[in-house]
Amino acid sequence: MNYINDSMQKEGYVILRHFFTDKYMDELIEQLDRHDALLYDRKVAADFNLMKSIPFINNLVHSKQLTSLVEQVLGDRSFPINAFVLDKTKDSNWGLDWHQDLKIAVKSKIETVNFSHWTMESGIPHAIAPKEVLEKKLAVRIHLDPCFADNGAILIASKSHKNGIIQTKTALEKIISNEIICCEVEKGGIMFMTPLLLHKSPYSTSDQKRRILQIDYVGTNLHNGLEWYN
């Protein structure tokens, strides 16, 4: 039984608790700190690809320990495109209201059917991708610290990914009127999440760190000359 893929298809996310040992997590944090990757600036975090700049992270994102699980969801042609740190601190405390992660980064802008709302972010072209592309994208969130409600654990609307791209505020409000789950995860736990899952990132109300290493994987190449930015 493919537990991870079954959970992803049914719920849109899965949490694997205590996935990494404390010893490994301490080594991971030390490597990130050594390369100043924990000096958090949200404006540039998602555009700073750690798999390119830190060999330890490159080894991690290609490790069989992770890729064997990713392949259960995306297939055996999946590959990583990005790795970056997210944090919430006193100096950089932030929140995001209910949303889906619909935009993807590409190497060059090429007008393509069903790719819309083009923007330039930090010099990188972004567009909202069609549902078929987003269904082949997966975020793997590795928790460097315990993540609870008071320090900014994300809220999710389980099964909301089944609605595809949510087009209206009315549809969104109807979905979040149902069961909402706070995704609390201990240090060393990981969370898999589809970008189509409706989620919210609350402000932290604690002084405790909430650092997450997020790795984005995809299971498809783009078409019409478009290429993933990595």
How many structural domains comprise the chain?
Answer: 1
Asked whether the beta carbons of 213 and 144 are under 8 A apart, the reply is yes
List, in sequence order, the alpha helices (H) in 89-189: 131-134, 169-176
Asked whether the beta carbons of 126 and 106 are under 8 A apart, the reply is yes
Tell whether 230 is covered by a domain: no
Distance CA 143, CA 87 (A): 10
Q: Is the dihedral of CA 181, 154, 142, 9 positive or negative?
A: positive
Distance CA 21, CA 34 (A): 20
Tell whether 104 is covered by a domain: yes
What is the span of the domain harbouring residue 69? 3-218
Distance CA 41, CA 21 (A): 27
Asked whether the beta carbons of 190 and 141 are under 8 A apart, the reply is yes
Tell whether 224 is covered by a domain: no
CATH number of the domain bearing residue 181:
2.60.120.620
Tell whether 225 is covered by a domain: no
Q: What DSSP string runs through 46-74?
A: TT--HHHH-HHHHHHHT-HHHHHHHHHHH
Tell whether 227 is covered by a domain: no
Tell whether 10 is covered by a domain: yes
Tell whether 229 is covered by a domain: no
Tell whether 223 is covered by a domain: no
Spell out the per-residue pLDDT of the chain, length 230, in tens.
488 999 999 999 999 999 999 999 999 999 999 988 887 664 445 557 899 999 999 999 999 999 999 999 999 999 999 999 988 766 666 778 999 999 999 999 999 999 999 999 888 999 999 999 999 999 999 999 999 988 889 999 999 999 999 999 999 999 999 889 999 999 999 999 999 999 998 877 777 888 999 999 999 999 999 999 98
